[in-house]
Amino acid sequence: MILPDNSYEVKELKRCLTTQIGLRYNQVVQNYNQKVKQFPNVILAPIFGFKPQPFYPAKTSG
């Protein structure tokens, strides 16, 4: 993998990757949280220690 030479490009790449990873993580967490709340999981999940998880915080620009 070839990294960009200037620091602005590196920072922009990091920001872009962080955003994409955060969005994907939130999709997975939303799916997981929905399944934990559905029957019969709503009864079984707490027994095995499964509980709803928090979302990745979105950064606001400004």
DSSP one-letter string for 34-56: HHHTSTTHHHHHHHTT----PPP
Tally of domains in the chain: 1
pLDDT at 62 over 60: no
1: confidence class by pLDDT, cuts 50, 70, 90:
low
The answer as to whether 38 is a domain residue is yes
The answer as to whether 9 is a domain residue is no
Distance in angstroms (rounded) separating the CA atoms of residues 62 and 59 = 9
Containing structural domain, residue 33: 24-49
pLDDT digits (tens, 9 = 90+) for 2-59: 665 678 888 999 999 999 999 999 999 999 999 999 999 999 999 999 999 999 987 7
Query: pTM of this prediction?
Result: 0.74
